[in-house]
């Protein structure tokens, strides 16, 4: 069968009256993609991430029809470059290699087993196998391109991807195509990436999703991007200077458009703490506890952050203050970072600073710091904070 006949076959399947599930199954079979076999291998590669059972391909892969409709919308006949961020088995590469051979497609995927399946299929049809990159989106350098596609949950990975794309946007315009993953992607893009502008589109996903829209975003134009980045840099610098000089700042003092990225910018530091306002079930008043900014990330829960030290989810509106880490708590913060036990009290689960300065241990529960240390300065410091 000639290349053109193969292309015609694919187009006939995509435009047929068959159900979306039938179309997916026919094309997967034709491309020799055996999902459950592939996902069984992937599950054994990374059980911490994927668990024991293979994942349903409908949950983790974008449909061929969605990729086809995206290409028609953006007119990939003009060529260009397309990067699939978290590409799975490379359905975009398989489809576009036949339908839009003039388009350069790069697939970035963490799991080697998925890319191997794509490479094997491309080789079978005598197609170009370059552009298949096995790498972690938390670490890999994202190449410059005309189009980027994401189907990702909100979280640390998305934050890192957006950070990379923001750098690229300084010198290169592009279109970001997004399909909702866990129900919070669009919300995060529009709240926390103000340098992206959503363009009107009327595309709907072929498969049922949390949100059935396919959204298209473009970064600010070069000069506007420079202004935004300069303002962001100035805001970050100003509030870091205030934080270092005064030891604390209110989150609400930071312009709303920059708050999220300011917090995430602190994720590489271990000398800054978020003061979280909380109330336990049955309590009549709030208490305050500390969450380190080290490895802070957006949570999978809507409008939440996730701290690693301690491992907790909390709402944005619960962030009461941002403070420089008090030297009075150096011992307890150190134990919390190292996940180390203190005598027979157990692990440090949480550091509370109001209404009482307490350490919450895994075995002894909450213990007043006065019973652990004679440092009176500690109590006065936190009374003043509240």
Confidence of residue 375 (pLDDT cuts 50, 70, 90): very low
Residue 58 pLDDT: 66
**Are residue 278 and residue 364 in the same domain, yes or no?**
yes
Identify whether 31 is part of a domain: no
**Are residue 201 and residue 271 in the same domain, yes or no?**
no
Strands of the sheet with 297-298, listed across from one edge: 297-298, 304-307, 312-315
Q: Give the pLDDT confidence of 69-102 residue by residue, as tens digits.
A: 999 999 999 899 999 999 999 999 999 999 999 9
Q: Tokens 């240390």 — which residue?
A: 373
386 pLDDT more than 50: no
**Are residue 209 and residue 174 in the same domain, yes or no?**
yes
Q: Give the pLDDT confidence of 13-52 residue by residue, as tens digits.
A: 999 999 999 999 999 999 999 988 888 877 666 554 444 5
Going by the DSSP 8-state scheme, the letter that residue 267 receives in this structure is: T
Residue 183 pLDDT: 73
For residues 334 and 295, give the distance between their C-alpha atoms in angstroms, rounded to a whole number.
Answer: 15
Burial (CB < 10 A; 0-12, 13-18, 19+), residue 12, is exposed
**Are residue 236 and residue 369 in the same domain, yes or no?**
yes
Residue 285: CB atoms within 10 A of its CB come to 8
Identify whether 262 is part of a domain: yes
**Are residue 364 and residue 272 in the same domain, yes or no?**
yes
Burial (CB < 10 A; 0-12, 13-18, 19+), residue 256, is exposed
Q: Report DSSP letters for 110-176, one per residue.
A: S-HHHHHHHHHHHHHTT---TTEEE--TTTSPPPP-SEEEE---SSHHHHHHHHHHHHHHTT---EE
Q: Give the pLDDT confidence of 148-206 residue by residue, as tens digits.
A: 999 998 888 998 999 999 999 999 999 999 999 877 889 889 888 999 999 977 799 99
Token pair for residue 192? 């926390």
**Are residue 193 and residue 232 in the same domain, yes or no?**
no
**Are residue 258 and residue 377 in the same domain, yes or no?**
yes
Going by the DSSP 8-state scheme, the letter that residue 260 receives in this structure is: H
Residue 281 pLDDT: 87
377 pLDDT more than 50: no
Residue 190 pLDDT: 85
Confidence of residue 381 (pLDDT cuts 50, 70, 90): very low
Identify whether 24 is part of a domain: no
**Are residue 187 and residue 296 in the same domain, yes or no?**
no
Identify whether 293 is part of a domain: yes
Last residue of a domain, one of 202, 220, 238: 220
Q: Give the pLDDT confidence of 261-279 residue by residue, as tens digits.
A: 999 999 999 999 999 999 9
Identify whether 54 is part of a domain: no
223 pLDDT more than 80: yes
- Which of 193, 211, 195 is CA-nearest to residue 203? 211
Which CATH number fits the domain that encloses residue 157? 3.40.50.150
**Are residue 241 and residue 378 in the same domain, yes or no?**
yes
**Are residue 213 and residue 254 in the same domain, yes or no?**
no
- Number of domains into which the chain is organized: 2
Parent domain of 275: 225-385
Residue 209 pLDDT: 84
Last residue of a domain, one of 196, 220, 244: 220
For residues 289 and 273, give the distance between their C-alpha atoms in angstroms, rounded to a whole number.
Answer: 9
Cα distance between the two ends of the chain: 75
| Of residues 18 and 57, more confidently modeled | 18
Identify whether 379 is part of a domain: yes
Identify whether 291 is part of a domain: yes
Q: Give the pLDDT confidence of 282-330 residue by residue, as tens digits.
A: 888 999 999 999 999 888 777 889 999 999 999 999 999 999 999 989 9
Identify whether 14 is part of a domain: no
**Are residue 138 and residue 190 in the same domain, yes or no?**
yes
Q: Give the pLDDT confidence of 109-142 residue by residue, as tens digits.
A: 999 999 999 999 999 999 999 999 999 999 999 9
Are the CB atoms for 188 and 199 separated by under 8 Å?
Answer: no
Last residue of a domain, one of 170, 194, 220: 220
Average pLDDT of span 218-226: 93
**Are residue 246 and residue 118 in the same domain, yes or no?**
no
| Of residues 383 and 128, more confidently modeled | 128
């Amino acid at each position: 069968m000639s290349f053109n006949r193969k292309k015609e076959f694919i187009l006939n399947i995509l435009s047929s009256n068959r159900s979306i599930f039938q179309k997916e199954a026919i094309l997967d079979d034709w491309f020799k993609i055996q999902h459950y076999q592939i996902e069984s291998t992937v599950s054994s590669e990374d059980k911490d991430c994927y668990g024991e059972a293979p994942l349903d391909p409908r949950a983790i892969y974008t449909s061929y029809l969605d990729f086809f409709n995206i290409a028609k919308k953006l007119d990939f006949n003009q060529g260009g470059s397309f990067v699939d961020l978290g590409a799975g088995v490379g359905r975009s590469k398989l489809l576009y290699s036949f339908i839009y051979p003039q388009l350069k497609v790069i697939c970035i995927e963490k799991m080697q087993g998925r890319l191997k399946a794509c490479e094997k299929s491309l080789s079978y049809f005598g197609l170009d196998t370059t552009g298949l990159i096995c790498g972690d989106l938390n670490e890999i350098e994202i190449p410059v391109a005309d189009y980027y596609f994401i189907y990702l949950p909100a979280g640390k990975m998305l934050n890192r991807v957006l950070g990379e794309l923001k750098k690229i946007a300084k010198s290169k315009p592009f279109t970001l195509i997004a399909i909702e993953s866990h129900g919070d992607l669009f919300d995060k893009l529009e709240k926390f990436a103000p340098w992206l502008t959503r363009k009107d589109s009327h595309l709907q996903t072929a498969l049922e999703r949390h949100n059935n829209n396919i959204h298209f975003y473009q970064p600010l134009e070069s000069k506007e991007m420079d202004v935004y980045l300069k303002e962001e840099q100035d805001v970050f610098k100003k509030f870091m200077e205030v934080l270092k000089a005064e030891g604390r700042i209110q989150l609400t003092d930071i312009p709303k458009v920059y708050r999220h990225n300011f917090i995430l910018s602190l994720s590489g530091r271990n000398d800054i703490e978020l003061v979280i306002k909380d109330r336990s079930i049955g309590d009549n008043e709030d208490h305050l506890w500390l969450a380190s900014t080290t490895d802070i990330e957006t949570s999978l829960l809507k409008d939440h952050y996730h701290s690693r030290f301690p491992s907790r989810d909390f709402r944005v509106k619960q962030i009461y203050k941002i403070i420089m880490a008090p030297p009075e708590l150096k011992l307890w913060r150190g134990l919390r970072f190292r996940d180390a036990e203190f005598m027979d009290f157990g692990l440090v689960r949480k550091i509370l600073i109001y209404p009482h300065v307490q350490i919450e241990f895994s075995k002894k529960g909450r213990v007043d710091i006065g019973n652990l240390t004679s440092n009176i300065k500690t109590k006065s410091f936190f009374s003043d904070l509240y």
